[in-house]
Chain A
């Protein structure tokens, strides 16, 4: 029931379908929600989740403990895959739509960490200035190139990196540091 991610991944490595299914059940909603946030399309988000799990299943050894916590790694892979998919389709949604909840029925987070971190993060993001909100969104959730960001903000290319760091650091400061969890 409560296998750790690392234990489950070990079983996936050995070809245990049930272990993959457990990981799937655990992360389906988070990964789908993340990909939907990035791509803005449910069909595309499903494709991304599928691509992530195909990699997880077929590429033995794609994850190892040296890559950090499993959940963080899985989220990063989902983010990168989402951005790749968007780029392939050249449909980068440039409109800034933060905090839009797409489903008619509000849904809830199914993971404790998501629930805790999520509400604090969204709160913190909403308290950032409009410019910094947009910076976080275009850089992290849209994965735009440095040039593209410079154009959006009409700022010199050389200042983009500094502005990104500033916004992210500001955000970090605003999120209460509650849990010091040792990642398992």
Chain B
């Protein structure tokens, strides 16, 4: 039994195992001291091998391309600002941290989704700016977020139907800067039960926004949207007080 597993070390190291075998082997590692030792040894023996690579100059415009794509990616996850509408690969320095009013933001959001789509469809290199696939998004509703007592913040939430899936777009103003690992967390509530719906940190002007593809399994009737300030980006339920909220 075990012997069979021990024979998989090389393929494990090289990522050649399928998911199930991979997990099985990791389980085996917990039990087999020999394999643990051999794996540690392999890692130690190969640690510096990447330095054997002969230096090759990357293309001079690679940095602009990659960083533009990387920072665009961020907007899908944790968004701090909405850049101007632009071709995909404008260097970061050309971006302006300009705030856009909600309706403009909505149309911009569609273009961001378009860009992300273009990225996904693997047109990474050398392309001139190309037409994104046209998708027709249906505006569902927009609500003004109401500040809780003593809060100066304000914001807007929008629901947009995209190919049968609902996207939530939230923006807010006058947010306090976060400290440490703090983040602002958007929640969708259904009969009092909170679901995570986007995480963001504000830009230097106290403005923040996030787009979130609602993908919680099952049917939901969201009744409330709310924003809280959380100590970290992994709160399962709100730990901070509600700063902004609205019925949906």
Contact = CB atoms under 8 A, between A and B. Distances in A.
Contacts of A80: 15
Interface in B33-61: 38, 41-42, 45-59
Contacts of B71: 17, 57
Given A15-B80, A158-B7, A50 B70 contact: yes
B73 A57 contact: yes
Interface residues of A, number: 73
B66 A121 contact: no
A30 B62 CA distance: 14
A169 B45 contact: yes
Contact of A30 (B10, B41, B50, B66): B50
A143 B15 contact: yes
A132 B1 CA distance: 31
Contact of A79 (B50, B55, B56, B66): B50
Interface of B: 7, 9-11, 14-16, 38, 41-42, 45-59, 62-63, 65-67, 69-71, 73-74, 76-78, 80, 92, 124-125, 181, 201, 233
Contacts, number: 163
A117 B48 CA distance: 8
A20 B55 contact: no
By Cβ-Cβ distance, the 6 closest A-B pairs, closest first, are A117-B51, A75-B50, A168-B45, A121-B52, A107-B55, A33-B53
Given A30-B50, A136-B49, A143-B15, A108 B56 contact: no
A175 B52 CA distance: 11
B181 A14 contact: yes
Dominant secondary structure of chain B at its interface with chain A: helix
A139 B49 CA distance: 12
A57 B59 CA distance: 22
Given A15-B201, A50-B124, A34 B53 contact: yes
Interface string A13-55: 1110100110011001110111011000011011101100110
A72 interface: yes
A161 B54 CA distance: 27
Contacts of B46: 140, 168
Given A58-B74, A139-B14, A114 B51 contact: yes
A161 to B, nearest CB: 5
Contacts of B55: 29, 33, 107-110, 114, 118
B118 to A, nearest CB: 14
A113 B51 contact: yes
Nearest to A147: B11
A146 B11 contact: yes
7 contacts: A33-B55, A46-B125, A49-B58, A57-B70, A143-B15, A143-B16, A161-B10
A102 interface: yes
Interface string A118-138: 100110010000000000100
